[in-house]
Amino acid sequence: DAGVTQSPTHLIKTRGQHVTLRCSPISGHKSVSWYQQVLGQGPQFIFQYYEKEERGRGNFPDRFSARQFPNYSSELNVNALLLGDSALYLCASSLEHKARDTQYFGPGTRLTVL
Partner 1 sequence: AQKVTQAQTEISVVEKEDVTLDCVYETRDTTYYLFWYKQPPSGELVFLIRRNSFDEQNEISGRYSWNFQKSTSSFNFTITASQVVDSAVYFCALSEAQEYSGGGADGLTFGKGTHLIIQP
Residues that bind partner 1 (CB under 8 A): 33, 35, 40-46, 48, 55-58, 88, 90, 92, 97-108, 110
- Three-class secondary structure of residue 84 per DSSP: helix
Q: How far is the CB of 73 from partner 1 (least distance, A)?
A: 18
Residue 99 has a CB neighbour count (10 Å cut-off) of 5
**Residue number with CB closer to partner 1 (63 or 98):** 98
**Residue number with CB closer to partner 1 (41 or 71):** 41
Distances (CA, A) of 21 to 5, 7, 91, 92, 100: 11, 6, 9, 13, 26
Q: How far is the CB of 40 from partner 1 (least distance, A)?
A: 8
Q: How far is the CB of 30 from partner 1 (least distance, A)?
A: 13
